[in-house]
Amino acid sequence: MTRSEALFEQAKQTIPGGVNSPVRAFNGVGGSPLFIEKADGAYIYDADGKKYIDYVGSWGPMILGHNNPQIRQAVLEAVENGLSFGAPTELEVKMAEKVIEMVPSIEQVRMVSSGTEATMSAIRLARGFTNRDKILKFEGCYHGHADCLLVKAGSGALTLGQPSSPGIPEDFAKHTLTAVYNDLDSVRAIFNEHPEAISCIILEPVAGNMNCIPPVEGFLEGLRAICDEFGALMIIDEVMTGFRVSKSGAQGHYNVKPDLTTLGKVIGGGMPVGAFGGRKDVMQYIAPTGPVYQAGTLSGNPIAMTTGLAQMDALCQPGLYEELTAKTKRIAEGFKAAADKHGIPLSINQVGGMFGFFFTEDTNPITSFDQVTQCNMDHFRHFYHLMLDEGVYLAPSAYEAGFLSMAHGEEELELTLAAADKAFAALKA
């Protein structure tokens, strides 16, 4: 038994399923999860001392790679001043200014401590502001685990085969309407049925919780137009895509302007952080200026703000996103070339620093949730473990996107593609 396996057995005695977030349990790929001891640059190290090239990046935020020396130094200095004050700080002002500078649609922003808090709060605000109860989301999109958002969700919930969770009263769930991603007609039909009841559309601008599905041309613009027509707010959930797909997120990449944006892990640089922001008139509607209540003891925590600011400053280096995108493209296209070489049907998607690969014979671009669910999950599981054996750590679910970092250098890319070549060959055999 490896030390990771022993720790997993021990963890199961005291932690439900041995993990503090379900997708970590490896249910999507089988086997026992790696317990991680440390991470540095492009690598993570497990409890048995084995090192892996990491394509999870703490589920997105480690854009600069793990344990970045500048960020580490900034955090060490901040810790000298105390860990939490529960009172305003200059750091929060700097953070708000930085977010507003980077994401032009955001005029005011409120910090929270997770992506779930960000989306939950943005939806409460949208409901309060419009005085409407219903929300519209897309099947396969995940926006955290708030009650109204765990309806036909993606990611871990989908991996467990339970996209909607027990424990959410029908009286709550009935206000969440679900449309088909990349299908404007399905959205319009729902709005026609409830023309004055929908407070907002919330969406992932590149869906990253049903693998990696970019928006088809006209989809985001069409949603914007529908929101304007029916008086609903458009919430773009950039918890995953923010500062990853481009410096101004997916909204900058695709040139679409939401009313509200939710941000998460990336602005924390690895610390528990989230944020929501947008139009000033809407943001003024939250307490203490407005009637919609929202609060948090640890919101704007000084250590989290320091980490996030150091990361955001580093992300503003010229050329960073071009390089990140080029590396990610190389991995996605390299996987495809290796699969083709060995006669394994594979499709790929890639936007900025995120990518996805699909074991499918479908030769059309993968743009829908239905196509993702029809992929060959056995192939994915087998490939996953072959890559793990070769020292490459991918997300342990076919419904998750892959992430690169600036610390992935030539050597890591070469090693990964060589591993993929071997894995596809073994899969064919």
Name which of 23 and 226 has its Cβ closer to ligand PLP: 23
Name which of 24 and 143 has its Cβ closer to ligand PLP: 143
Cα 118-219-362 angle, rounded to 5 deg:
105
Name which of 134 and 265 has its Cβ closer to ligand PLP: 265
- Is there a catalytic annotation at residue 265? yes
DSSP state of 320: H
Name which of 311 and 417 has its Cβ closer to ligand PLP: 311
Catalytic member of 98, 152, 247, 265: 265
Q: What's the closest the beta carbon of residue 31 comes to ligand PLP, in angstroms?
A: 22
From the CA atom positions of the chain, what is the Rg in Å?
Answer: 21
- Is there a catalytic annotation at residue 137? no
Q: What's the closest the beta carbon of residue 275 comes to ligand PLP, in angstroms?
A: 11
Question: Rounded to whole angstroms, what are the CA distances from 77 to 88, 98, 267, 302, 385?
Answer: 19, 20, 19, 11, 40
Closest by alpha carbon to 235, among 127, 84, 339? 127
What is the layout of strands, in order, in the sheet containing 274-278?
108-112, 274-278, 260-263, 233-237, 198-203, 134-138, 176-179
Tokens, residue 394: 């991918």
Query: Is residue 387 within 8 Å of 423, Cβ to Cβ?
Result: yes
Catalytic member of 52, 142, 181, 399: 142
Catalytic member of 46, 183, 237, 259: 237
Q: What's the closest the beta carbon of residue 249 comes to ligand PLP, in angstroms?
A: 11
Q: Which residue ranges make up the site for ligand PLP (CB under 6 A)?
A: 59, 114-116, 119, 142-144, 204, 208-209, 237, 239-240, 264-265, 274
Distance CA 53, CA 40 (A): 10
- Is there a catalytic annotation at residue 134? no
- The torsion angle over the Cα atoms of residues 117, 351, 244 and 346, rounded to 10 degrees, is 80
Q: What's the closest the beta carbon of residue 6 comes to ligand PLP, in angstroms?
A: 28
Nearest-CB residue for ligand PLP? 115
Name which of 28 and 334 has its Cβ closer to ligand PLP: 28
Q: What's the closest the beta carbon of residue 205 comes to ligand PLP, in angstroms?
A: 9
Known catalytic residues? Answer: 142, 237, 265
